[in-house]
Structure formats: C-alpha cells, structure tokens
A and B are shown apart, each in its own frame.
Chain A
Amino acid sequence: MYRYDSYDQKIVDERVAQFRDQTRRYLAGELTDDEFRPLRLQNGLYIQRHAPMLRVAVPYGLLSSTQVRTLAHIARTHDKGYAHITTRQNVQFNWPELKVVPEILAELAKVEMHAIQTSGACIRNITSDPFAGVAGDEYIDPRPWCEVLRQWSTFHPEFAFLPRKFKIAVNGATQDRAVIQCHDIGLELKRDAAGEIGFRVLVGGGMGRTPIIGSEITDFVPWQHIITYCEAILRVYNRYGRRDNLYKARIKILVKALGIAEFKRQVEEEWAFGKDGANTLTEAEVARVAAHFTTPAYAQLPAEDAAYAAQRAANPAFAAWARRNVLAHKVPGYAIVVLSLKDPSRAPGDITDAQLDQVADWADAYSFGEVRATHEQNLVLADVRQSDLFAVWEKARAAGLATPTFGLLTDIICCPGGDFCALANAKSIPIANAIQARFEDLDYLYDIGDIELNISGCMNSCGHHHVGHIGILGVDKNGSEWYQVSLGGSQGNDTSIGKVIGRSFAAAEMPDVITNIIDVYRAQRLEGERFIETVRRIGLDPFKIGVYGDAAIIERKQHA
C-alpha cells in the first residue's frame, strides 16, 4: 500500500499543528461556532448527540496492521472501546472529547493517517473497490489512481468551500464494487482501442434527498488528463452550483438543471484552458505511486488446497462461512476473507478495540499486514492462503467476527442513525438488530440467498437505502419515528433507485414487514432467481399486497 514520503508526512504534521491552533482559538473564544464549524468538519469532527464524532480517513479503504492497532488504541484510550466502519470506508469514533482531538490527530499522523476532508463542503475521501488488486475481474488496479487523486484533492485551495460535499469513487473491474453511479464523480478505468489507460467519467450521481444515477460526461479521458478534467468539472460546479438552498446544492442538481449536454459543453470549454497544464500527470509520477501497489510475495500454491477441501467437508459451520465469507482470489491457492461486522448483538459496522488488535494480528500472520474496509461496513483480509483459512476462521469465530452472512439479508448496511447522529430523523441500529434477530436461522437466510438490505436514519442516505434491494428510511412524523420501505434498488453495474412501496411503519412492525416481503419473494421466485431479479420481473404490486393486503392495491387502482 502507499507509504508516506517526507512530503506526505509534513502535510499531515502541519495539519495537526494547524488544527491544534484552531481548536485552541475556538476554546479561547477567538473563533465563533460558525467560524469553527467548517474547520472542524473538514477535519472530520461533528458535534453529535453525545459528544463530538471524529471521522478518520481511510483512503480507498486500505489499512496497514500498524494503522489498525492505532485505531484500537484510540478506541481504547479516547473512546468507549469501539470504532465504527462507515459506508464510505472510513472509521468513526463516537465519543472523543473536543480538546483531545488534536492529540488523536497527532497519534494518527504517526501512522500516516489523518481526518482531512472527511466532512465539509469539499472533496471527500476517494473510495474504491475493496477487492482492488486481488479480484479476478479487475482489469486495471484503481489504487494508484485513487492515491494520485487523493494527493491532488488534499487542501485543494480552489475547492475548499464548494456549494456542498463532493464525493469521487474509482472502479477498475468488470463488476462495479465502488457504487460509481451514485457519486458526484464516478470514474471507471478502461483502455481505449490502442490499449492506453483512461477513464470513463460519470457525473452528478448521488443519493441523499434526490437520488440520481450519474450521467456519462465522457466515455474516455486519457489518464494524463484525469486531474485537469476533474478540475474543470469542479470549477464549473464551484462557480455555478446552487448556494441558496442546501438541498439543491449538490452537483447532481446543477447537472440536471443544465442537462448533461450543456454541462459537458461548459466543462469541456473550461477544460480547453486547463488541459495540458501543469497538473497534467506524468508517467514518472504515476509509476512512483504505482510502485507502492506492487503484487505481494505470493507463494506458488495449488489452485485447490486439499486440506481446505477436507476441512470444509468435515465441518459444516466452517463450510458455511467459507461459502459466504470467502471469495475467489486471482492468485491460485489464495482467498479473500470478509470479516463480518454484522454480529446481531452489535451495531452494524462496529468493532471493539480488542477485535481491532486481533484483526491486526491476523493481517500480519496471514495477509501481508493489510486490511481493507468496505462500504458495506465489513473488514477484509485480501490475501489469505487457502491453507490458512481454517485457522483464520477459528480465530475470527472466537472473536465474533465470523458471522457467516456476507451478502445475505442480515449483512445490513446501516448508518449510526438517531442513537448517535444529530441529523437523523429516526434510529436505525435497533431496526437492523431487530431484523437480524428475526432472521437468525442460517438455513433460512441461505435459502433467501443474495439480497441487500440498507437502512438510513434520514434523507442524507448514509445507509445507502436508495440502492438497497430492500431500503429502509427513517422518517419523522409529528415527532415520532417511522420507517419507509422501498424495493428494487441496486448497486453495482445495474444500479437502480428503489421505489417506495407505500405508507410507513412503526419500528415494532418492521420485522413483520420484512418477513412479508421475503414471503412474497419465496412464493414467487423462479428457480435460481435472486430477490432483486424477482422484484424486477414481477414489479412491486405483489409485494404491496403481501405487506398491506389487497386493499392498498384496490385503492391505488381507483385513484389511478
């Protein structure tokens, strides 16, 4: 993974000093709340229900074991013994005191970490495929490009006060695992006819209050020009994005208002000036960064480890975990392991300090010292030998990190919600836990098969409910918490936005509602048909009948 040189280190060290001074001036009354707010947000610091919440950047989800140990130390020392993996591959601490945040940042800087631009109206952490470099369907490794973009966007002076937040995601595999269609800029690595690397660029996607799938602004930008092209997009947005209404300030609203053709015209007019300028990438720089992402020292192994097959045959619990949480690796004899953070007794994405330390140890012992965070709020050991899988499983199981439900109904994406977040309209964690408790039977879960259930506690959509096969959104009705259900959303190559099925529900109704939806699927599915495919084939009406009874449909038809 990328290691800092003296320049990178100096920038994060100077950031620590800057924020230390800003915090001092705030606590001394020299900075007002309004003046301090954007400064702390651009350092990932929110003021939440209980305490400040600190969001630490995990660039494109990559962590070293050393960094994981530092996160464990911070959780133990400055928090209540746990951390939370976010839906943008970052890490959050829910309980640090404001006055110790500069100390936390200093500790992070020692292990090449920071909280720069993890919030605020600026370019946020670049996200990517958690299986980058190890997935069999990858054609170009996105990580060097993410790092190049990270450096370009860090403290970009022109784009520190955009109309609203700005998120960039990069994918370089056949399957999109970075949700690039729902980002302000989505970058798809590709090659042109001559074999040269470049990017297909999507713009104006996003979730939030107005979910929109990104539009293609160009089908190919040669790699040298990706920074200047992004700068042109950002400059048009910075100048002409709406600033009068927070809810209409994202770039998707500008793109929609202008239309993609006119937006593209403005961007390319701007780009004509910036193209070939100093920010044009050089081969030397890309090679320098790419050298940090070389293939680890894989052993020559048989494609199928005989002992691994025997262990699966002998141990059904191990076999179940291997079937769900172990994924194919591009190198023979190796596997990708998903360490589940979806134990039903905890909030989805939460991990304790002790677990973090253990994960760091396993990374060192079994996976070249690296860990990845996923936007689905799990951790990944990307390079495990098949012959080590049983040992990893035994340890993970003992630590509560081997819930064998990756990609199943209870592998829920869930924002912190009303338990922690000051923005939330409703709690989300108890809904997730209640659904997990209802669907605890593994055979039943396996029978339901691949499905994505995502929960957001408010319209900001941190829980990605718009792209959940089943999406749950917390809403406030006259001061009480209600939950709206949508169906048919999807991430990945065939990204779609879910449709709301009808009136919302009280929290206590939610497990029954999900059961009813699943019952309709099980009754209607064709052989081998996944949940999302059934929804697309039969539409929402059968599910509405299953959830609300015939009355809902009759009423709707009468109004139609």
Chain B
Amino acid sequence: MSTSSPPSRRTGLPLRARLATTVGGAAGRASRLAGRGDGSVIGGVIGLRLKPDLLALLARGRQIVLVTGTNGKTTTTRLIAAAIGTLGQQIASNAFGANMEAGLVSALARAPDATMAVLEVDEKYLPAMLTATGARVVTLLNLSRDQMDRAAEIWLLARRWRAALAAADCRVIANADDPLVAWAAGQARKVTWVAAGQRWHDDSWCCPNCGSHLLRDGEDWRCGECPNRRPPVSWVLAGDEVIDPTGRSRRLDLILPGRANRSNAVIALAVADVFGVGVTPALNAIAQVRSVAGRYTHVERRGCDLRLLLAKNPAGWLEALDILVPAPVPVTLAVNAQVPDGRDTSWLWDVDYRRLRGRPVFVTGERRTDLAVRLEADEVAFRMVGNIDGAVDLARSPSMEVIANYTAFQQIRALLGRTA
C-alpha cells in the first residue's frame, strides 16, 4: 500500500465518505441515547446508504483480521483484540457481535485512527467482506448447522468460502479439526493450521470433497475414497495446554470456562503470532478476559448468583452443557424462536439433554413448550416458569446456571439489568 498514513484517517476519506461516517456516527449516538440498541448497526446502515463502498474506503490502509465460523466469533474476536492490543496500538473492533456490513462500517468509523482492526463477520458475508476489506488475516473457527430457516446450507457456505479464499491474498488461520473448515481453506495460498478440536461431529461425517464417509481416529480424520485428509498442524490444543509451532507447551489458565474457549484461545494465539505478538504476552492478555458481551457473566438476583451462558445452535448447546457446574446446582434453559434465533425450533432435537437428569431444571422463554416436550422425551424432570425470576424463586439456591439462545439471552440480560 503506497498511501501514507494521515494523522486522522477520516480526513483522508473522500468528502462523501466523511459525511457518511459523520451522519452515521450521529445516528449511532442517537440510537444509544434512545435506548434502542448499542448503536453499533444503525450508524453503519445510514452511512452505507449514503456511500455504498464505505466499508472499502474505511478499511483502506489498515491491517484487518476477519473472524468467522458458526460458534465463538464474538469471543475469539475479543481474545484476538486483547492479544494484539499488547502491541499498544489502537484497534477497531465490532466487539458486540454486529457482524454484517453495517456493523463492520460502524466499528471502523468509530475508530478512525486505528491502524489495526479485528472484525467478526457473519458466515454468509465472508466472501463479500473479504473483498471489501482486503483483510490481511482470515480466521476460520468451525462450521455447523445454525438457523437454517435464514442461513444458507453449510456445505454451500463451505464451497463459497473455498472459492473466495482461493482468490484472496491473505493468511488464513483455520481449524484443521473441522473437515468442512479444512476443505474451505484447502485452496488458500497461505494457511496456518490449528488443531483446535471439534466437539460437534454431526455435520461432518462425510467428505466435503467427494461425499464419502470420513474415517476418524481421535481428532485425526481422512477420507476413505479421495486424498482429502486433515492437514498437518502447527498449533495444537492438547487438553488444558497449547503447543506452539516450536513444540513448546504452556498451560491455558483462562478465566473463560470450557473447552470451546480454550479452542478459541489457541486460534487467537496463532493470529497474534502473525502480528509478531509472542505467545507469553498474548496468553497473559487472553487469560484475563472475563466476560464477552454479557456471556459468562455472573449476576446476583434475589440472593442467587446466576451465571449466564449463551448457546445459539446445537454445537453451542453441547459446549454449554459441557461447562455446567455439577448437580445439584439448578439449571434454567430459555429458548425463543424470533428471527435472530431462527424461527424453527426443530434443532432442539439435535441436542442431547439426558445429562440434565437428576438435577433441578427450569424451562422458560417464548418457546418453552417446545423445550418442555423435548425434555420429556429425554426423561429429564423440569418445571416451567414465566421468566428467570420464577426459576430463582422456586429454586431457592445460592447459585444457578442459565443457558439461553440469542433473544432469550438478551431478554434475561434486560430484565436483570434493571435491578442488577
């Protein structure tokens, strides 16, 4: 890139783009003041209406990391930003999960002087956002079924990723343990493969290349018919430890719980390495991240310590059920089926709830009846409650675990936020 970096990036933008970011920024502030959202989308929407190529203009001259996948985007974006933040430079980031074009525009417009950006991107938009931003690094976490009433089918998504990454000049950091991800990154020019693990296998029994059954041995996998196989990895998540490309292993002592977050952390370390951040400082920064956009937060409610876990799809529920503190601590499950959740609740039947047997379980949310029928089939005893307070009152427990899908999670946060 030949353009010199101006003191303020905004002054380097064409007049119409400057106007678009100013008007958009004002709308974002107005939206926040009006309590209509965190303001991270509306500004971008207005800006894009005035200047459709605003994202490319705002991205110009910056080093950009894109983060995508079905699960862990928001958390991994936060971890990468924390690790790269040790370089002491300002970083633009859509930290609250606004991951379509308008959210990316807002994140970049809010930080005109940031020379680096870590941006999570909705799976569907990766090819377009890669073209628009000219990203230096693309991070691929995983790919599994998610909100199929509005999302494209995942084999189709993998095909589109594969074509986009083959054509782009970027470094790809990809999870080699997810066969769909590995195939999607398989024609990219520069790939760092990470053995980040895969807990959910139900979308990758078959080879994305030829459709034959995949042979699995632990985390290793290969196709029985074609040459497609797990690529050789340079970063490895091994239980509670990360093994870096030099072969040195370190313990992952994260505040964030669970295998999924250790997986996110190892991928974040591999991204940070591209920018010259050493494993030790990167890990120190990552380990301190406590909660991400309200996820994993502890909230006190009427004498009960609630831990809030977000789970948006079957793979996410599997990971959330994995990190529950053991019985007899009660669990509340909350499910909605609004547009952001996916309006079809069939996915409830892809989750195995049997391990909730033998502990107090409460169900709530707008689709609690669907959830109740699901638990009945798995012979899990439960009680239905109108909202989280109903569960707290009935449970009479000093602590409780809460797992909710997207809008149910936001509703619980809104309710707790008023008194917490």
Please determine whether chains A and B interact with each other in the same assembly.
no
